[in-house]
Structure formats: C-alpha cells, structure tokens
Amino acid sequence: MTAGVDPPLSLAELPPERWPKHIAIIMDGNGRWAERRGLPRMQGHQRGVSSVRAVTEEAARLGHIQALTLYCLSSENWKRPQEELDFLMQMLARYMIDERPTITQNNIRVSMLGRRCGLPDDVLAEVDKTIELSSANTGMRLNLAINYGGRAELTDAMTRIAEEVEAGDLAPDQINEQLIADRLTTAGIPDPDLLIRTAGELRISNFLLWQVSYSEIWVTDDCWPDFDEATLHRAIQDYARRERRYGGLNV
C-alpha cells in the first residue's frame, strides 16, 4: 500500500452516495487474450461472453448500480475480416437467446444503443425479442452498444433537431444541453459515473462522447476475458475514493 493512501473500503462499507449509479465499459482485448495463448481470435470472443455474464449478474446483484452500458460492437468494427464479423453476429444472437433466463431472474431491463441499419435481420429479431421480454423489469438497465459510434449518435441527434426546427416545432433558441441529451439514444438514463476500459488502452474510442464528459475513468491492463467480479469490485472501490468536483472546488 502506498504511504499516505488509505486502504479502500469494502463494498459493504460504502455509503450509497459513493457508489457509481451508471458504469460504462469498453470491453477490449478479446483477440489479444486469445493470441497470447496461441488460440484463434474467436475463442477470445467466446471467453469474453463469460465475462459479460459474470459482470452483468454481479452489477445487478450489488443493488446500487442503476445502469450498465457495454460497448459490444463499434461502428468501426465492420472493418474486421468478414469471417470474424459473421462469428460476432452469430454469437450476439446466441447471447440474446441464452441470457433471457438470467435477465429475467435478475430483473434486468435490456436496451440497445446504436444504429440498426447494417445489422442482420435475424440478429435484430433476437435483440428486439429480448428487449421486449425485459421491458417490464424494474431492476438494473443493461444497455448494449451494438453498431454504435459516439459521433454517429451525435450526428443523428443533430439531424433530428434540425428537422424539428425546419418543421417549426422547435426554435433555435430552445436548443440547450438537456434538449440535446433528450435526443440521444441514452435519453432518460443518467450519464456514466464510471468509465472502465480493459487491455490497458488509454482512449475513449468514440464511445458515449457526450455522456462521459464528467465520467471517472478506470483502466486495467487485464484483457476483457480476464475481467471478473473481483475486478469490478476494485474499479468501484477506486471510484469511491475519488472526489468528483465537476469543475468546482470541495470546501
């Protein structure tokens, strides 16, 4: 332990106001995890699904986390080899089917962030079915960012606002930060308090550009397949030790 630094509180000791209400995760390193073990990249993606399951269940079980947003597929990932993309789509559809009992048991409400165009119809059908089946759940919100890009989201929001102005339904002087936030795919969901990135990368990668303006960032060198409940706990404990000032001063 570094001199002068208090040890982290256990999660049981954390007061409610010290918990992140919304955690967003850039799940990076599936391919690298596999390659370091001499395995095909696909096996890294398969192992990553286990981490998704473990982290989602644990976040829901902890009780203080209102929303968990996972960066599943970025709009830039379409540049990958077609074989890998086909595998990712099949895996996503399978996840939507297999995880329905877990989602129900944990009272999780699922939503999708990202553009629907370009996604296979059969994958969208399974995503939509899971969203519908979980729509009445009242527990943690699980946001799956699929075919998502922060710039694309902002572009779509600006387009909608421009259309409202052109139609005479909105005056330019009515445009403010709240109005823009209400046109984003995360409308109604609090911005992330904590942004986690795996595999040691120090960049946001076009993820929730508007929403993470004041998020605390926590990076681990662990690749996503090695991210587990204990890693999530460490991230939360580190977050709880930080002072969030939003540009002001704590006095």
Q: What is the pLDDT of residue 59?
A: 98
In DSSP notation, 193-215 reads SEEEE-TT----TTSSTTTTTT-
pTM score: 0.92
Nearest in space to 126 (alpha carbons), one of 90, 101, 102? 90
Residue 24 has pLDDT above 60, yes or no: yes
Question: Domain spans of the chain?
Answer: 16-150+191-240
* 201 assigned to a ligand binding site: no
Task: List the single range of 9-23, 121-135, 213-227 with lowest mean pLDDT.
Answer: 9-23
Q: Give the confidence band of 10 by pLDDT, cuts at 50, 70, 90.
A: confident
Q: Does 115 appear as a known binding residue?
A: no
Is residue 206 classed exposed, middle or buried when 0-12, 13-18 and 19+ CB atoms within 10 A define those classes? Answer: middle
What is the rounded CA–CA span in Å between residue 144 and residue 154? Answer: 17
Instruction: Kindly state the tokens that stand for 141.
Output: 């919100």
Q: Does 218 carry a binding-site annotation?
A: no
Active-site residue flag, 182? no
Say which of 6, 77, 86, 122 is annotated catalytic. Answer: 77
Could you say which of 28, 143, 147, 191 is catalytic?
A: 28
Residue 112, exposed/middle/buried by CB under 10 A (0-12, 13-18, 19+)? Answer: buried
- pLDDT single digits (tens) 170-198: 999 999 999 999 999 999 999 999 999 99
Is residue 77 flagged as an active site residue? yes
Residue 3: its pLDDT value, please? Answer: 46
- For residue 124, the one-letter residue type is L
Name the residue with tokens 């404990």: 237
The per-residue b/e assignment along 151-164, b for 16 or more CB within 10 angstroms, e otherwise, is ebbeeebeeebeeb
Fold of 16-150+191-240: Undecaprenyl pyrophosphate synthetase (3.40.1180)
Q: What is the pLDDT of residue 212?
A: 98
Q: Tokens 């559809």 map to which residue?
A: 93
- For 1-5, 17-21, 92-96, 114-118, which range has the lowest pLDDT when averaged over its residues? 1-5
**Mean pLDDT, all residues of the chain:** 93
Tokens standing for 5? 């630094």
Which letter does DSSP use for residue 77 in this model? G
Q: What is the pLDDT of residue 77?
A: 84
